[in-house]
Structure 1
Amino acid sequence: MAITKGPVKALILDFSNVLCSWKPPSNVAVPPQILKMIMSSDIWHDYECGRYSREDCYARVADRFHISAADMEDTLKQARKSLQVHHETLLFIQQVKKDAGGELMVCGMTNTPRPEQDVMHSINAEYPVFDRIYISGLMGMRKPSICFYQRVMEEIGLSGDAIMFIDDKLENVIAAQSVGIRGVLFQSQQDLRRVVLNFLGDPVHRGLQFLAANAKKMDSVTNTGDTIQDNFAQLLILELAQDRELVKLQAGKRTWNYFIGPPKLTTATFPDDMDTTSMALSVLPVAEDVVSSVLDEMLKFVTDDGIFMTYFDSSRPRVDPVVCINVLGVFCRHNRERDVLPTFHWIRDILINRAYLSGTRYYPSPDLFLFFLARLCLAVRNQSLREQLVLPLVDRLRERVGAPGEAVSLAARILACRSFGIDSARDMDSLRGKQCEDGGWPVEWVYRFASFGLNVGNRGLATAFAVRALESPYGESAVKVMRRIV
């Protein structure tokens, strides 16, 4: 695994419930609910800070909670026997530290009374991964006391933003965050692995590894659990990743079909569509005379308003704004903007009036509408037409920054924003945090077949989007052009 020599220089981990766990015994004199109350009391907190001996603590507990000190001793003896060390997690932390090549300090930070510290030392003896272990009973302070975190920061010599802290108690995480530490609430062992990799690993390198490992196997999936092989996702992956070896395609003779092979989960016959065809004509090298003839054919399939339909089939008069944007892009790249003005003006009006916010017929994400529109702006050669799109588009993109979204939506937003020099750092942080342990990003429903109630997504496409967004969106020259317009 590639580990960034980046801002995080220290990983601080809680022990209880993170690296090890125990269960309150049920067949003892002190019931679990009473034991929980005891461990939440000021007496126990003082014990964890080393202010009482074990005997003194048990005596005080016995007096307040009306139990015997002997019962307390027996209960904790049984609890110690239930201790389970999370071996796989510790091995994982060892590997992370090794991969960091000496650039990462690993520390433990635990609320543990002085007499119980042998448990921490035994874990460290078996897994010698810790540079330091901060035990509350020895430090004279406990989490979530701010002074505890400040002392640790002082001793390891790092500022808060260079430290990642993982704990299962929200109050401890909040306290860490309040002094500038990158606090993370522990959820599960699997989630811990993902979070640590996302903080410390190189997201682009890991994403590229995922794409390479799944080359030519990145099929789309539906919300019903079915697999679909489609040209559109493959073409978009190709445009984003710029690597023909990653994808498999079934080329049309002139126009292209969404499906690779026979159609699935829809009608027995499925016509070629303008969306996939436009993507193919944009991404692949195609002879100019072939492109020209296809554009001429597209002009035959428009509504009474002069707006492009989706299919090369007049019996299916479907219209979608994103499909229209992609068709416009091909016409603009081939200097035929004047042939498509009705569709152009319709898209402009959708943008100005925010008619995309609920998604479109085939594309549920408003961010994909804006992404493909930003892509179109790079193709529009007529300055007057380009300005009609760019000026409102910049405002609409700024409105979207920081909005909730899944991987594809976030990445599409980042790419569109960066092409106009708009800061979307918050979205980049969110996108990094969604990376899975295997280096890919999770499925997001990118398009839908409303007539059949199907949503379609693709992990390969989500990963290609994310890698491109975290790496670089468009060429520097394109960014400069857009900034001049703005």
Structure 2
Amino acid sequence: MLYIFDLGNVIVDIDFNRVMGVWSDYSRVPLANLQKSFVMGEAFERHERGQISDEEFAAAVCEEMGMALSFEQFSTGWQAIFVGLRPEVIAVMHRLRELGHRVVVLSNTNRLHTYFWPGEYPQIAEAADKIYLSQEMGMRKPDVGIYQKVLEMEGFSPHETVFFDDNADNIKGAQRLGITSILVTGKETVPDYFAKNL
């Protein structure tokens, strides 16, 4: 079997409020204002597809949110999103590989984050056979093409695949191909699934 795991809020906890807090401190824009104005809009999606640079992304977000930040200040806030690993999921991933299954990560991410989390959390690469990143693939979830590409690269069919993600739209995208898709709603979702299915 092929098991595909999302990264944020599946393998590692993330929290956008931490990002806003840092940006608020630097920009002196009230936190509540930033929380209201932050949207995962066109610049966000284009950045995750690798279509614009980190600097262009930072400038677009600062303009959208009315923040005057240097690129360094923006980046410091952007990396604050990472809270910590979910060791119970890492353990599941190792167990699956021991049993002969293929385990990969598929994440909508961007170059800025990849300067941070691989070094901060080396356990992720150690627990996965391969890591697929949207910026490198030129596509992002829930585009059906990104799932098709992973299946093609891995040599598995949809009915041999299980996918875990915390975003309902991403789950629907995978389900369109017939992939068994599990919506991760909390830290217990993945361990509970495998307690019944392993």
Fold equivalence (TM over 0.5): yes
**Is 1:47 the equivalent of 2:41?**
no
Go from structure 1 to structure 2 and tell me whether the alpha carbon gap of 1:36 and 1:114 turns closer, same or farther (over 3 Å shift): farther
8 Å Cα contact 1:173/1:183 also seen in 2: yes
Question: 105, 113, 116: which is aligned to 2:113?
Answer: 116
Query: What fraction of aligned residue pairs are identical, expressed as a percent?
Result: 23
Measure the CA separation in 2 of the matches of 1:58 and 1:82.
15
8 Å Cα contact 2:171/2:181 also seen in 1: yes
1:175 match:
173
Give the alignment of 1:75-224 within 5 angstroms.
75-81=74-80, 83=82, 84-98=84-98, 100=99, 102=100, 104-122=101-119, 125-127=122-124, 128-199=126-197, 201=198
Measure the CA separation in 2 of the matches of 1:110 and 1:33.
28
The code of the aligned residue for 2:42 comes to D
How many residues are treated as equivalent by the alignment?
188
SS at match of 1:189: coil
SS at match of 2:109: coil
8 Å Cα contact 1:38/1:44 also seen in 2: no
Relative to the length of structure 2, the TM-score reads: 0.83
- How far off is 1:132 after superposition? 1.0
The code of the aligned residue for 2:94 comes to Q
**Is 1:21 the equivalent of 2:13?**
yes
Measure the CA separation in 2 of the matches of 1:188 and 1:67.
32
8 Å Cα contact 2:103/2:128 also seen in 1: yes
Go from structure 1 to structure 2 and tell me whether the alpha carbon gap of 1:145 and 1:91 turns closer, same or farther (over 3 Å shift): same
What's the C-alpha RMSD, in Å, of the aligned pairs?
A: 2.3
1:216 match:
none
Query: Once superposed, which parts of structure 1, at least 4 consecutive aligned residues long, lie more than 6 Å away?
Result: none
Go from structure 1 to structure 2 and tell me whether the alpha carbon gap of 1:134 and 1:78 turns closer, same or farther (over 3 Å shift): same
SS at match of 2:188: helix
- How far off is 1:33 after superposition? 6.4
- How far off is 1:162 after superposition? 0.7
The code of the aligned residue for 2:89 comes to T
Measure the CA separation in 2 of the matches of 1:192 and 1:74.
35
The code of the aligned residue for 1:114 comes to R
CA deviation profile, 1:405-456 (whole Å, cap 9, x unmatched): xxxxxxxxxxxxxxxxxxxxxxxxxxxxxxxxxxxxxxxxxxxxxxxxxxxx
Go from structure 1 to structure 2 and tell me whether the alpha carbon gap of 1:124 and 1:111 turns closer, same or farther (over 3 Å shift): same
Go from structure 1 to structure 2 and tell me whether the alpha carbon gap of 1:75 and 1:55 turns closer, same or farther (over 3 Å shift): closer
Q: Which has the higher strand share?
A: 2
SS at match of 2:76: helix
Measure the CA separation in 2 of the matches of 1:182 and 1:131.
20
Measure the CA separation in 1 of the matches of 2:142 and 2:158.
15
**Is 1:62 the equivalent of 2:62?**
yes
Measure the CA separation in 2 of the matches of 1:61 and 1:149.
28
SS at match of 1:184: strand
Give the alignment of 1:300-311 within 5 angstroms.
none
For structure 2, list consecutive stretches of 5 or more residues without a partner in the other structure: none
Which of the two has higher C-alpha Rg?
A: 1
The code of the aligned residue for 1:187 comes to T
Go from structure 1 to structure 2 and tell me whether the alpha carbon gap of 1:34 and 1:73 turns closer, same or farther (over 3 Å shift): farther
Go from structure 1 to structure 2 and tell me whether the alpha carbon gap of 1:69 and 1:79 turns closer, same or farther (over 3 Å shift): closer
8 Å Cα contact 2:104/2:130 also seen in 1: yes
Measure the CA separation in 2 of the matches of 1:148 and 1:78.
28
CA deviation profile, 1:47-84 (whole Å, cap 9, x unmatched): 111111111111222333322242x7525514524521
Measure the CA separation in 2 of the matches of 1:85 and 1:174.
26
- How far off is 1:87 after superposition? 2.1
SS at match of 2:4: strand
CA deviation profile, 1:456-477 (whole Å, cap 9, x unmatched): xxxxxxxxxxxxxxxxxxxxxx
8 Å Cα contact 1:58/1:73 also seen in 2: no
8 Å Cα contact 1:117/1:135 also seen in 2: no
The code of the aligned residue for 1:191 comes to T
Go from structure 1 to structure 2 and tell me whether the alpha carbon gap of 1:124 and 1:52 turns closer, same or farther (over 3 Å shift): same
- How far off is 1:21 after superposition? 1.6
Go from structure 1 to structure 2 and tell me whether the alpha carbon gap of 1:122 and 1:171 turns closer, same or farther (over 3 Å shift): same
For structure 1, list consecutive stretches of 5 or more residues without a partner in the other structure: 1-8, 202-486
CA deviation profile, 1:178-209 (whole Å, cap 9, x unmatched): 1111111002222211113433x2xxxxxxxx
| Highest RCO, 1 vs 2 (Cα 8 Å, sep ≥ 6) | 2
8 Å Cα contact 2:79/2:113 also seen in 1: no
The code of the aligned residue for 1:59 comes to A
The code of the aligned residue for 1:181 comes to I
- How far off is 1:86 after superposition? 1.4
